[in-house]
Amino acid sequence: MASYSVLRWVSSSVLPLAGSTRAFRIVVSGALTAEKAHALSRRSFVPTLRFCSASTDKSLIRVLESEIQCAEDPTKKMTGSNFSYRENDDGLPVGSPLQIEDRPRERTVLLTISFDDEIIKVEADIPQIGTEDEDDKKDDIETIPLFVTITQKSGMSLQIGVTASYSTSEIYTDSLAMKQPEVFEDQLAYEGPEFYDLDENLQKAFLKYLAIRGIDFNTFDFMPHHMLKKRHREYFLWLEKIKNFIEKPPHL
């Protein structure tokens, strides 16, 4: 098809030279030579591109392997005297009222507390910590936001947003909302005022309500240690997943 296009171009180019057979042969010969050179160039370019790609992949894999080796056992440096509690098999402090659900490759941790006929669930997200430029504080966690749901047998639930502050060793309540089971929530429905707008005595009473149910600072004092371990573990799993993808492309 390409040769046919060349001949068409040649035919239109030599119309003024129709009386000269020699000129026609020269033009055709030159055009076909250029076409062959272009085809040869394309054939030689593809192996070169594949070689460069393979070399780049190997280089990336070496860097990934080096990073994986550094991240392989991140918890050893976190088991020193900075943490005064003993852990059980779940990574919780011995004697903690919590049950933990920490699934690999998920960024959240689910904690559960039973209180009388209520089920209390606390969801914690991996927090952002210091950047690499802040070497002294890059593993410091100052706050962890927690989303607390207290559900009664009736299905009614109270959803409370709290923040555990590790600089002040306190729990702060941020938001408060009621939810009914299997009821469509009107986006325009009144959900109450902002928590900080409530009367100060009412705020303190809510904090005591939570503390009785185990939602206090002492319960979550272990969280920075646990979340740092999870953050390192998830980073390690992520590196392995990327390395496996580079080594074994999905189409093979």
Reported confidence tier of residue 145, pLDDT bands at 50, 70, 90 = very high
At 218 the three-state DSSP class reads helix
Tell me if 236 is assigned to some domain.
no
Please indicate, yes or no, if residue 247 is contained in any of the structural domains: no
Largest CA distance in the chain: 108
Neighbours of 127 (CB within 10 A): 16
φ, ψ at 29 (rounded to 5°): -60, -45
C-alpha triplet 136, 139, 144: angle, nearest 5°? 130
Within this chain, do residues 59 and 96 fall inside the same structural domain, yes or no? Answer: no
Q: What is the CATH number of the domain that holds 144?
A: 3.10.280.10
In a domain, 235, yes or no: no
Same domain, yes or no: 55 and 117: no
The string of pLDDT tens digits covering residues 2-27 is: 444 544 444 454 444 444 555 545 54
Answer whether 231's CB lies under 8 Å from 237's CB: no
Residue 80 counted as domain residue: no
Regarding whether 206 and 145 lie in a shared domain, the answer is yes
Are residues 99 and 202 located together in one domain of the fold?
Answer: yes
Residue span of the structural domain in which 55 resides:
2-63
Give the model confidence (pLDDT) of 185-220 as tens digits. 555 567 778 888 889 999 999 999 999 999 999 888
- Residue 202 in domain: yes
Is the predicted pLDDT of residue 77 greater than 80, yes or no? no
Edge-to-edge strand list for the sheet holding 99-101? 99-101, 108-115, 118-125, 143-151, 157-165, 170-179
Rounded distance between C-alpha atoms, residue 176 and residue 158, angstroms:
7
Confidence of residue 125 (pLDDT cuts 50, 70, 90): confident
| pTM score, whole prediction | 0.65
How many domains does the chain fold into? 2
| Percent of the chain predicted with pLDDT > 70 | 62
For tokens 């149910």, what's the residue?
213
Shared domain check, 189 and 116: yes
Query: What confidence score (pLDDT) does residue 86 get?
Result: 60
Q: What single string gives the DSSP state of each residue in 137-160?
A: TTT---EEEEEEEEE-TTS-EEEE
pLDDT of residue 178: 87
Is residue 251 a part of any domain in this protein? Answer: no
Residue 71 pLDDT: 77
Task: Measure the CA–CA gap between 34 and 6, rounded to whole angstroms.
Answer: 10
Q: Are the C-beta atoms of 90 and 101 separated by less than 8 Å? A: no
The yes-or-no verdict on residue 181 having pLDDT over 50 is yes
- Minimal CA–CA distance to 120: which of 139, 141, 143, 97? 97
Is 14 in the same domain as 126? no
- On whether residue 248 sits in a domain, the answer given is no
- DSSP percent split of the chain into helix, strand, coil, nearest 5: 45, 20, 35
Residue with tokens 């009664």: 152
My answer on whether 209 and 151 are in the same domain is yes
